[in-house]
Structure 1
Amino acid sequence: MSRRVAVVTDSTAMLPAELAAERDVTVVPLQVVIGAKSYDEGVDAEATPETIATALREWTPVSTSRPAPSVFLDAYRRAHDAGAESVLSLHLSSQVSGTFESAQLAAKEAPLPVLTVDTLQLGFATGYAVLTAADVLDAGRSAEEAKGAALARAAATTSLFYVDTLEYLRRGGRIGAAAAMLGSALAVKPLLTIDEGRIATLEKVRTAGRALARLEELAATAADDHQVDVAVAHLAAEDRARTLADRLCSRLSANLGDREVSVGEVGAVIGAHVGPGMVAVVVAPR
């Protein structure tokens, strides 16, 4: 353990294993249930985005579950045993998952102080907040300062995404049945955002092409004249994601400096709720 303050997050933050190891971040997996079998995201080889996309297309039952408090407690104990004096535990929005609550419950039993953080974000946006916290701690600052920096970055980050259908969000209880039925009846392509930790409808467009064009416009507006990190995520829609990333890389070159637009496929847990064809863009001011 290289820091006095250990950093813990969850698997929905989309931190590649190599990056998490490099930045000394412990990743606690959420679970995805396919049919009757449960898998740890990022740990079990069966819990891949491809597996999830196939299961959803074939109407195989898919659900997700938060880590048990005991799993977080094990992570906190390992940090203590490795020499950490405290833990900063940063997670996806409490408005869409009970993961943060599990971390809070585990913190009460931990053998060292644990500061839990609800980023009110998802995916890459949570990941950027985690990396910001790690930067602050690596600079020798306190856990409270790292928490503040992470929350400030998460609050400044814009998360936008397009889904082919609202049906998967409805199945998972992330939006109401009425909204999903209306979207299907009108054959619209919804653009969604994260608003105060909740999934909210931003716009409705008629075609996937128009949806991707609007994501580009909205991302450019969010970037404004800031220096930003930009990431594009997808589920079973790599061509769409690469096309959007290329356009953003060109359009936002002044905002990006020499940084690339990251492209990645969402993990099994987020994928289970958004469905195949989803494309998201995250704009995080630096």
Structure 2
Amino acid sequence: MTKIAWITDSTSGFTPEQAAEHNIHLIPLYVVFDNESFRDGMEITNEEFYARIDRGELPKTSQPSVGDFAELYKRIMDEGYKKGIAVLISANLSGTLETARMAAEMVGFDLAVIDSKITSFPLAQMVLDGQRMEREGKDFAEIVEFLQTYPERFSAYIILDNLEFVHRGGRMNAAQFLLGNLLQIKPILHLPDGRAVVFEKVRSFKKAKSRIFELLSEYRSQDLRICVIHTNVWEQANEWKKELQEMYSNLKVSVQELGSAIAVHAGPGSIGLAWIR
């Protein structure tokens, strides 16, 4: 059986060390401050990222270039791989997926490109579950088909603490931004079909948290993998984890800090849940 090269991007949350441990080829997005560009998770740590935000610097993101992907594919082919599967951030959040496809055609690499329709924890789990299928002896086509239907199995909701970042990203106009701050609105975002949209606008963080926990409870009879996702609120995230473990003692609950490329848009202080059925 032909060995598969597994590729994902830095929004999956894999560190370079974790990617190497799992034999995953990691392609970073870029975080940009003024004229300085950093490879997400490789050339800037989350601590450095938030320190710059605290100083009033405003970051942006950019996707990997065609050249970045082409260089990666050539290296992979030099290692003897004939086929690859790239599971990437939602095409509705970034142009990364289309760039990956273009580069594969350019260098002649046999690559299946999978739109995860998500990012972070579910994206990482897609890759790991695909690798498990490969170890079980499933063929390439069967693995690809499984991954293409995978988005039907997950949900993700996140509370935005700082409306400035979603306002700058164009998902909230100036009037909504001012009114939201005045009324202490906490938007809950979710990703239907891979699009980041406001699910509900809730007055107070406490009510927003209760709403997300209520949504999770609808699946309590199922065998779930649950992850608390957050941007630089580790203490609060671990409190959520403890609470969830008490509520669902039979289920595994993990915590994942979202990387800088996602935090650019979510802003610091955001927290939510992702789960896979």
Give the structure-2-normalised TM-score.
0.92
- Does residue 84 in structure 1 map to residue 81 in structure 2? yes
The correspondence for 2:266, drawn from 262, 274, 277, is 274
Q: CA deviation at 1:220?
A: 2.5
> Counterpart in 2 of 1:263?
255
Query: How many residues are paired up?
Result: 276
- Does residue 156 in structure 1 map to residue 148 in structure 2? no
Q: Distance in 1 between matches of 2:21 and 2:38?
A: 25
Q: CA deviation at 1:140?
A: 2.0
Bigger mean CA deviation after superposition, 154-163 or 19-28: 19-28
The correspondence for 1:53, drawn from 38, 41, 50, is 50
Aligned ranges for residues 242-253 of structure 1 at < 5 Å?
A: 242-253=238-249
State the Cα deviation string for residues 232-267 of structure 1 (Å, max 9, x = none): 12112112211111111221223x2xx3x2112111
Secondary structure of the residue aligned to 1:67 is coil
Secondary structure of the residue aligned to 1:140 is coil
- Tell me: CA distance 1:3–1:267, structure 2 relative to 1, closer, same or farther (3 Å): farther
Q: Distance in 2 between matches of 1:180 and 1:252?
A: 36
**What amino acid maps onto 2:29 in structure 1?**
L
- Kept after mapping to 1: 8 A contact 2:28/2:41: yes
The correspondence for 2:140, drawn from 140, 143, 159, is 143
- Tell me: CA distance 1:218–1:41, structure 2 relative to 1, closer, same or farther (3 Å): same
Q: Distance in 2 between matches of 1:25 and 1:78?
A: 13
- Kept after mapping to 2: 8 A contact 1:53/1:271: no
- Tell me: CA distance 1:197–1:266, structure 2 relative to 1, closer, same or farther (3 Å): same
- Does residue 10 in structure 1 map to residue 16 in structure 2? no
- Does residue 227 in structure 1 map to residue 226 in structure 2? no
Secondary structure of the residue aligned to 1:263 is strand
The correspondence for 1:128, drawn from 125, 129, 137, is 125
Q: CA deviation at 1:212?
A: 2.2
Q: Distance in 2 between matches of 1:110 and 1:183?
A: 48
**What amino acid maps onto 2:70 in structure 1?**
L
Q: CA deviation at 1:3?
A: 6.2
Q: CA deviation at 1:187?
A: 2.4
- Tell me: CA distance 1:51–1:220, structure 2 relative to 1, closer, same or farther (3 Å): farther
- Kept after mapping to 1: 8 A contact 2:121/2:256: no
The correspondence for 2:105, drawn from 104, 108, 113, is 108
Bigger mean CA deviation after superposition, 116-125 or 51-60: 51-60
Q: Distance in 1 between matches of 2:92 and 2:179?
A: 23
Q: Distance in 1 between matches of 2:131 and 2:178?
A: 42
Q: CA deviation at 1:205?
A: 1.9
**What amino acid maps onto 1:101 in structure 2?**
E
- Kept after mapping to 2: 8 A contact 1:14/1:266: yes
Q: CA deviation at 1:52?
A: 2.5
Q: Distance in 2 between matches of 1:140 and 1:181?
A: 55
- Does residue 188 in structure 1 map to residue 194 in structure 2? no
**What amino acid maps onto 1:251 in structure 2?**
M
- Kept after mapping to 2: 8 A contact 1:230/1:282: yes
- Kept after mapping to 2: 8 A contact 1:52/1:271: no
Q: CA deviation at 1:119?
A: 0.8
Q: CA deviation at 1:55?
A: 2.8
- Kept after mapping to 2: 8 A contact 1:136/1:149: no
Give the structure-1-normalised TM-score.
0.89
State the Cα deviation string for residues 164-215 of structure 1 (Å, max 9, x = none): 1332123234x24265455334321111111111111122222222222322
**Runs of 4+ off more than 3 Å:** 16-19, 178-182
Q: Distance in 2 between matches of 1:142 and 1:9?
A: 20
Q: CA deviation at 1:150?
A: 2.1
State the Cα deviation string for residues 101-143 of structure 1 (Å, max 9, x = none): 1101111113331111111111112111111111112222223
- Tell me: CA distance 1:224–1:100, structure 2 relative to 1, closer, same or farther (3 Å): same
State the Cα deviation string for residues 85-116 of structure 1 (Å, max 9, x = none): 10101101111111111101111113331111
Q: Distance in 2 between matches of 1:58 and 1:209?
A: 29
Q: Distance in 2 between matches of 1:182 and 1:115?
A: 45
